[in-house]
Amino acid sequence: MNKLHEIKDEFVLKIQPVASSEELDVIRVEFLGKKGKVQELLNALGAVPKEERREMGQALNELKNAISSEIEEKGKRIKEAELNAKIAMTTLYDASLPYEAKSGSLHPITKIINELEDIFASMGFSIEDYSEAVSDFECFTSLNIPEHHPARDMQDTFYLENESGQNPKLLKTHTSAAQNALMKKYGAPLRAIFPGRCFRNEATDATHENTFFQMEGMMIDEGVSISNLIYFMKTMLSKVFERDVEVRLRPGYFPFVEPGFELDIKCLICGGQESESGAKGCPSCKHSGWLELCPCGMIHPNVLKQGDIDTEKYSGFAFGLGLTRLAMMKFAVKDIRVFNGGKIEELKIKA
Ligand SMILES: [Zn+2]
């Protein structure tokens, strides 16, 4: 009986570290094989005194069964681990396995810019690019917003440092900052659009961002009037949305235009309708049903003069289109922060 316990202890000790099918086979042969330790005792059973034989035989059989089922259990676990390892290896190295290729897409703002450039180019506008860091003169003074003008308070921005500390550049708050340079570069007559990234020191929420895109448009020629402005805006918006868009012009004050307007479009997300809960509009249009899209107006004579344009001969209109807002409307994006958020899935436009 002592021998029996010895075998059991030895088996428990030996099977514990086994980690492969090969090692397990060695153990199986050692204990259960024809010349194995259990069989040895079974063979010797004849020499056991008759009165102990029955008990001994029974104990040996129990040991044999216990070892056998333990080996079987261990074998199952090892097989499973070996299979998992194989799958892991296949996943890592098998280049022939099928996989879904993920293709990129253009950013919604880029799509809008491309589209608008095509529309305006077809109407004879040139497409201009301009720096994001501009001077105070370009961003404010040349646009009839002198120092200490209250309009500056609404456009707090980020000021860059320079070595001398004199006239630091700032991140432009609106694309209008390029008006002066373009007037001086091309003179009149002039038709140009200039899309660009703008910046404001702004607390962000669903409709406000510190970094956003605008597209400025400017037309200067003899006899340009408000009806030219309305014509171009209507043509452009109907092409962008590929349908009739309801717009409204409200008088608006911007120092660089006179008269100035605020062009609103009917919210395309909620359609200006009441929601199920009975609330008017949606968060995107601040529950008004309308979305401010575009300040516009006739360029103020002071601004033309700063750009060396003869105001006796020429007049012009300008508009600053909110590209980010336009993209929200066109692609029904409810939160402006999506555009700078970097989440690919949210930026994929089902166009
Ligand atoms: Zn709405």
Q: Quick one: which of 258, 337, 254 has its CA closest to 292?
A: 254
pLDDT at residue number 163: 77
Q: Could you tell me the distance, in angstroms and rounded to a whole number, from the CA of residue 329 to the centre of ligand 1?
A: 9
In a domain, 103, yes or no: no
In a domain, 213, yes or no: yes
- Domain shared by 175 and 271, yes or no: yes
- Domain shared by 209 and 328, yes or no: yes
Q: Could you tell me the distance, in angstroms and rounded to a whole number, from the CA of residue 236 to the centre of ligand 1?
A: 21
Q: Could you tell me the distance, in angstroms and rounded to a whole number, from the CA of residue 164 to the centre of ligand 1?
A: 48
Query: What's the total number of domains in the chain?
Result: 2
Of the pLDDT bands very low, low, confident and very high (cuts 50, 70, 90), residue 211 is: very high
- Domain shared by 157 and 195, yes or no: yes
pLDDT at 272 over 70: yes
Q: Could you tell me the distance, in angstroms and rounded to a whole number, from the CA of residue 57 to the centre of ligand 1?
A: 87
SS3 276: coil
In a domain, 261, yes or no: yes
* Mean pLDDT calculated for residue range 292-297: 87
Q: Could you tell me the distance, in angstroms and rounded to a whole number, from the CA of residue 265 to the centre of ligand 1?
A: 10
Q: Could you tell me the distance, in angstroms and rounded to a whole number, from the CA of residue 336 to the centre of ligand 1?
A: 13
Q: Could you tell me the distance, in angstroms and rounded to a whole number, from the CA of residue 276 to the centre of ligand 1?
A: 13
Which residue in this structure is represented by tokens 């575009």?
294
Q: Could you tell me the distance, in angstroms and rounded to a whole number, from the CA of residue 325 to the centre of ligand 1?
A: 12
- Domain shared by 149 and 190, yes or no: yes
247 with 236: CB under 8 angstroms? no
Domain end among 93, 116, 142: 93
In a domain, 99, yes or no: no
- Domain shared by 236 and 332, yes or no: yes
Number of residues in the chain: 351
- Report the C-alpha gap between 107 and 92 in whole angstroms: 32
- Domain shared by 53 and 173, yes or no: no
Q: Could you tell me the distance, in angstroms and rounded to a whole number, from the CA of residue 287 to the centre of ligand 1?
A: 6
Report the alpha-carbon angle 237-241-247, nearest 5. 45
State the residue range of the domain holding 17: 2-93
In a domain, 237, yes or no: yes
Domain end among 93, 123, 157: 93
- Domain shared by 160 and 240, yes or no: yes
- Domain shared by 127 and 195, yes or no: yes
More confident residue, 21 or 280: 21
Spell out which residues have Cβ within 5 A of ligand 1, the ion: 267, 269-270, 281-282, 284-285
In a domain, 25, yes or no: yes
106 with 114: CB under 8 angstroms? yes
Q: Could you tell me the distance, in angstroms and rounded to a whole number, from the CA of residue 197 to the centre of ligand 1?
A: 25
- Domain shared by 138 and 10, yes or no: no
pLDDT at 18 over 90: no
pLDDT at 197 over 90: yes
pLDDT at residue number 293: 79
Q: Could you tell me the distance, in angstroms and rounded to a whole number, from the CA of residue 168 to the centre of ligand 1?
A: 40
pLDDT digits (tens, 9 = 90+) for 298-332: 999 999 999 999 999 999 999 998 888 888 878 88
Q: Which of 252-256, 271-275, 346-350 has the highest mean pLDDT?
A: 252-256
Domain end among 93, 124, 149: 93
Phi, psi of 12 (to 5 degrees): -60, -40
- Domain shared by 38 and 82, yes or no: yes
- Report the C-alpha gap between 350 and 181 in whole angstroms: 38
pLDDT at residue number 275: 67
CATH for 168: 3.30.930.10
Q: Could you tell me the distance, in angstroms and rounded to a whole number, from the CA of residue 119 to the centre of ligand 1?
A: 26
Q: Could you tell me the distance, in angstroms and rounded to a whole number, from the CA of residue 256 to the centre of ligand 1?
A: 29
* Mean pLDDT calculated for residue range 160-179: 87
More confident residue, 282 or 70: 70
Q: Could you tell me the distance, in angstroms and rounded to a whole number, from the CA of residue 344 to the centre of ligand 1?
A: 25
Q: Could you tell me the distance, in angstroms and rounded to a whole number, from the CA of residue 176 to the centre of ligand 1?
A: 27
In a domain, 14, yes or no: yes
- Domain shared by 74 and 114, yes or no: no
pLDDT digits (tens, 9 = 90+) for 116-140: 999 999 999 999 999 999 999 999 9
Of the pLDDT bands very low, low, confident and very high (cuts 50, 70, 90), residue 161 is: confident
Characterize the bridge pairing of strands 126-127 and 190-199. parallel
Q: Could you tell me the distance, in angstroms and rounded to a whole number, from the CA of residue 262 to the centre of ligand 1?
A: 17
pLDDT at residue number 224: 95
* Mean pLDDT calculated for residue range 224-243: 85
Q: Quick one: which of 278, 249, 254, 280 has its CA closest to 264?
A: 249
Phi, psi of 218 (to 5 degrees): -145, 135
Q: Could you tell me the distance, in angstroms and rounded to a whole number, from the CA of residue 200 to the centre of ligand 1?
A: 24
pLDDT at residue number 189: 95
Percent of the chain beyond pLDDT 70? 97
- Domain shared by 32 and 160, yes or no: no
Q: Could you tell me the distance, in angstroms and rounded to a whole number, from the CA of residue 172 to the centre of ligand 1?
A: 29
Q: Could you tell me the distance, in angstroms and rounded to a whole number, from the CA of residue 152 to the centre of ligand 1?
A: 29
Q: Which two tokens stand for residue 316?
A: 């012009």
Report the alpha-carbon angle 252-267-350, nearest 5. 130
Q: Could you tell me the distance, in angstroms and rounded to a whole number, from the CA of residue 245 to the centre of ligand 1?
A: 14
Q: Could you tell me the distance, in angstroms and rounded to a whole number, from the CA of residue 335 to the centre of ligand 1?
A: 12
In a domain, 98, yes or no: no
- Give the pTM: 0.65
pLDDT-wise least confident of 22-26, 108-112, 227-231, 291-295: 291-295
* Mean pLDDT calculated for residue range 180-197: 95
Q: Could you tell me the distance, in angstroms and rounded to a whole number, from the CA of residue 225 to the centre of ligand 1?
A: 32
